[in-house]
Amino acid sequence: MFVDQVKITVQAGNGGDGCSSFRREKFIPKGGPDGGDGGKGGDVIFQAVSNLSTLLDLRYQQLYRAEHGKAGSGQLKTGKSGKDLVIPVPVGTVVRDFESRVVLADLTEDLQEYVIARGGRGGLGNEHYKSSTNRAPRRADPGTPGKHRVLFVELKLLADVAIIGFPNAGKSTLISKISNAKPKIADYPFSTLVPNLGLVQVGDYKSFVAADIPGLIEDAHLGKGLGTRFLKHTERTRLLVHLLDFSIASNRDPIADYETIQNELKHFSEELYGKPQILVANKVDHPEAEAKLAEYKERLEMLNPTLFVCSAVTGVGIKELVFKIYDMLHEKEEE
Q: What is the CATH number of the domain that holds 186?
A: 3.40.50.300
pLDDT digits (tens, 9 = 90+) for 242-298: 999 888 777 788 899 999 999 989 988 899 899 999 999 998 888 888 888 899 899
Q: Which CATH number goes with the domain that contains 147?
A: 2.70.210.12
In terms of domains, do 202 and 329 share one?
A: yes
* Single residue among 128, 155, 182 that ends a domain in this structure: 155
Residue 78's closest CA among 110, 49, 35? 35
In terms of domains, do 133 and 211 share one?
A: no
Strands laid side by side in the 44-49 sheet: 85-90, 44-49, 113-117
Contact status, residue 113 vs residue 130, Cβ threshold 8 Å: no
- Under 8 Å CB-to-CB from 74, ≥6 apart: which residues? 19, 21, 22, 23, 34, 35, 36
d(CA 260, CA 216): 9
* Single residue among 155, 178, 193 that ends a domain in this structure: 155
- Which domain, by its residues, includes 12? 5-155
When the pLDDT of each residue in the chain is averaged and rounded to a whole number, the result is 88
In terms of domains, do 315 and 170 share one?
A: yes
In terms of domains, do 327 and 184 share one?
A: yes
d(CA 225, CA 154): 18
In terms of domains, do 147 and 242 share one?
A: no
pLDDT digits (tens, 9 = 90+) for 197-228: 888 888 777 888 898 888 787 776 666 656 57
In terms of domains, do 206 and 135 share one?
A: no
In terms of domains, do 139 and 257 share one?
A: no
Q: Which residue has the higher pLDDT, 229 or 328?
A: 328
* Single residue among 127, 155, 183 that ends a domain in this structure: 155
Residue type for position 299: R
pLDDT digits (tens, 9 = 90+) for 24-53: 877 777 778 999 999 999 999 999 998 888
Count of structural domains within the chain: 2
In terms of domains, do 217 and 117 share one?
A: no
In terms of domains, do 60 and 130 share one?
A: yes
- Under 8 Å CB-to-CB from 4, ≥6 apart: which residues? 54, 55, 154, 155, 156, 194, 229, 233
pLDDT of the residue at 193: 65
| pLDDT over 90 at 229, yes or no | no
CA atoms lying within 13 Å on the CB side of residue 133: 0
pLDDT digits (tens, 9 = 90+) for 146-202: 999 999 999 988 889 999 988 888 888 888 888 877 766 555 455 566 788 888 888
In terms of domains, do 42 and 57 share one?
A: yes
In terms of domains, do 213 and 76 share one?
A: no
In terms of domains, do 202 and 147 share one?
A: no
